[in-house]
């Protein structure tokens, strides 16, 4: 199968939202995703398969720290390294911006995602109690942006 990873375009919003709904019980609202597409377009990447959006990753940044807002891959297309390609694109972009540290939140009970992020160099940094709408805690994972290129090569 041939997947294409590229920077998001405004016209991708419906496909991004479809992936969001397929992946999460408490999806981000479509308006928020459209706002992220508009404001963080340089660090928002999608994966497509025959023109259909099957995954996305988006991050924001301030002067020193990057924040991976979301990584999602349609369940029908998982285990094909799409998430790796998307997160790699985002972390590379953040490193190019001179970001020193990248963080993200993940459900404490999401063992698969925690393992994935661990493989990508993210380590537990802290915890946020009752972070998610259903009350589940989040682990905050972080990594040095300086080490991004070594993991991605």
pLDDT digits 0-9 by tens, 10-44: 999 999 999 999 999 899 999 999 999 999 889 99
3-state secondary structure of 54: strand
CATH classification at residue 108: 3.40.630.30
CA-closest candidate to residue 65, choices 142, 128, 124: 142
Where does the pLDDT of residue 62 fall: very low under 50, low under 70, confident under 90, or very high at 90 and above?
confident
Is the confidence at residue 92, as pLDDT, over 60?
Answer: yes
**Given a cut of 50, is residue 152 above it in pLDDT?**
no
Contact 123, 143 (CB under 8 A): yes
| The pLDDT of residue 150 | 43
**What DSSP state is assigned to residue 119?**
H
Range of the domain at 29: 4-152
Domain count, the chain: 1
On average, the pLDDT of the chain sits at 92
- Work out the percent of the chain whose per-residue pLDDT is above 90: 83
pTM (two decimals): 0.90
Q: Which residue is associated with the tokens 């993991």?
A: 151
Does 138 score more than 50 pLDDT? yes
pLDDT confidence tier of residue 148, bands split at 50, 70 and 90 = low
User: Once rounded to an integer, what is the mean pLDDT over residues 6-12?
Assistant: 96
Provide the sign of the torsion angle of the four alpha carbons 34, 35, 41, 44, taken in this order.
negative
DSSP character for 80?
A: S
């Amino acid at each position: 199968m041939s997947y294409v990873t590229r920077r998001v375009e405004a016209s991708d919003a419906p496909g991004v939202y479809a992936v969001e709904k397929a992946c999460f019980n408490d999806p981000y609202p479509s308006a928020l995703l459209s706002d992220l597409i508009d404001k963080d377009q340089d660090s928002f990447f999608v994966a497509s398969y025959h023109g259909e959006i099957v995954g996305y990753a988006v991050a924001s940044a301030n002067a020193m720290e990057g924040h991976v807002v979301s990584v999602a891959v349609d369940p029908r297309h998982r285990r094909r390294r799409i998430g790796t390609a998307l997160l790699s694109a985002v972390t590379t972009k953040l490193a190019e911006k001179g970001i020193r540290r990248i963080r993200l939140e993940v459900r404490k009970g999401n063992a698969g995602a925690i393992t994935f992020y661990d493989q990508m160099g993210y380590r537990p940094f802290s915890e946020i109690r009752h972070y998610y709408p259903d009350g589940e805690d989040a682990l905050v994972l972080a990594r040095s942006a300086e080490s991004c290129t070594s993991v991605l090569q």
